[in-house]
Structure 1
């Protein structure tokens, strides 16, 4: 079954995780996401299966924005009406500016070192402090995939980006680099990307290769270049008040399960990127090798254009320095 048909066949029954023998009257954990069939959804499914089998929580899954658009789900976690939401860290930057540390491409440009950083106890303990005071507790943070640029014409050099209208996330850490290379950044919701490509409202999109393949962007923009040094990072954001109210034994089981599921998700996600590469080519899309010069010049543009953003936020600047120190200590 290909990815497109998988998404279609699961959409109608993706709501509640049904596991036989779940005990009654256990605390309920509504676990939401905006996607379906990707590594975030895989994380949800593996976590729900293990926690429901442990018999300490009743985990209900709500992928594919069943609990509302992304801002509403973020607010739901802060208000405590949604226990858990897994999402790109960029969508939490308004909760706490320290979440923007995951948009600093230079810090996370080496995939091997990035995995080691996110797996370290030092980094995990520090990240858990993000969102403190806003009722957000991040318990798992990992790389979803590298970002890719999907375009109507091939992108082989940095100059090929000039003049293009490129869809980006509504994060200054994607907006400013595109401006720096002469492109016009166009923030827009995921649901509007394909129509915009079809009508010519945009020429290209910065996205995950797995998302691009699942949504068949190749039908409107056939060229993809994957930027391995520019990762998309996601986090499992929990309601702090909900977590703090759980019995200590349940908290311990939850933490242990999260770490195990995260390790599985990292491996599954890496394989999913390879599946996306193959599916893209099989569907008639063109997958272009990343030229080292292009990638280096893009990294320079990202670093130079976002340096003022970091300098202008003492909280973020301090966090970048702290993460750089942790990364250096484990390398």
Structure 2
């Protein structure tokens, strides 16, 4: 039996609903995936979740680092199909979605780290890049420099000639494949999850990788040399489901986009320090860090430019983006 208080409470609650009383806000989940662990991408995920929790009590962020939601191609598809709300990844893995993403692999645009940071912070850049991938249900809400690239190898790489004859894991982009071919190496595209076994079995001799990723995955156990390439950065993007974003209330969408942007500077600062930590960890575990000399950096940039010029010329969308971003860099400088 109901007592008087229960009956009155139920009646008052129903009356409040009929009179338009406050309804509970809709709760939603943002699944945020990555392929890496304990690097700047993972750090970005964590700090994004922390920042969003401060400004929104209606969106719960679930983090899935280290390819927990599948290999990289499946995570890209997950964002395209709307089963994953957001995925942070090297931009090369988005080039099949939209050829304009390949502009981030054109190393000659981004060889100056300071100029690159200024470019990425500009409103013209942000507005332009937000359109990349839209036709495939992807909207980039953040783009930043992960770190300089390195070549992790079983034998030391002290000059470009040392690359000749090596089987090198590259990202699946012609902007890494063609320069390696031009230098006499055999490029081998493969998912990140397969790199360590491939190094251990000799399927590959080396891998182009961010130093923080290489240290986090303990590549030094299979290949002890890390050659730093300061003029060839790894650039990452937070690719988000456009249909999911468009289905949000305007204020929630604004919060998410704003938090994504605010997280960038913090992540970049953390990432710069993490490059130093990764190099120290590499040496502490018996590896050797080899700086690429300035003349070698210049020779590498020349090789990259020559090997990739036909790729740029062959794609009108890409050539337009290269021209636009090169202009922005020149104007900012």
TM-score (norm 1): 0.91
DSSP 3-state at the match of 1:130 = coil
When the two chains are superposed, the root-mean-square deviation of aligned CA atoms in Å is 1.3
Deviations 1:289-317 (A, max 9, x none): 22111111111111111111111000000
Deviations 1:224-244 (A, max 9, x none): 111011011110111111111
Assess, with a 3 A threshold, how the Cα gap between structure 1 residues 70 and 95 changes in structure 2: closer, same or farther.
same
Aligned residue pair count: 309
1:124-203 alignment runs, 5 A limit: 124-203=126-205
User: Partner of 1:258 in structure 2?
Assistant: 260
Quote the Cα distance in structure 1 between the aligned partners of 2:132 and 2:182. 29
User: Partner of 1:12 in structure 2?
Assistant: none
Cα deviation, residue 24, structure 1: 7.0
Deviations 1:186-245 (A, max 9, x none): 112222222222222222111111111112222221111110110111101111111111
Give the counterpart of 1:230 among 212, 229, 232: 232
User: Partner of 2:92 in structure 1?
Assistant: 90
Deviations 1:221-275 (A, max 9, x none): 1111110110111101111111111111112211221111111001011111110
User: Partner of 2:330 in structure 1?
Assistant: 328
Assess, with a 3 A threshold, how the Cα gap between structure 1 residues 24 and 252 changes in structure 2: closer, same or farther.
closer
Give the counterpart of 1:115 among 111, 114, 117: 117
Unmatched tracts of structure 1, length 5 or more:
1-22
User: Partner of 1:100 in structure 2?
Assistant: 102
Is the counterpart of residue 44 in structure 1 residue 45 in structure 2? Answer: yes
DSSP 3-state at the match of 1:153 = coil
Unmatched tracts of structure 2, length 5 or more:
1-23
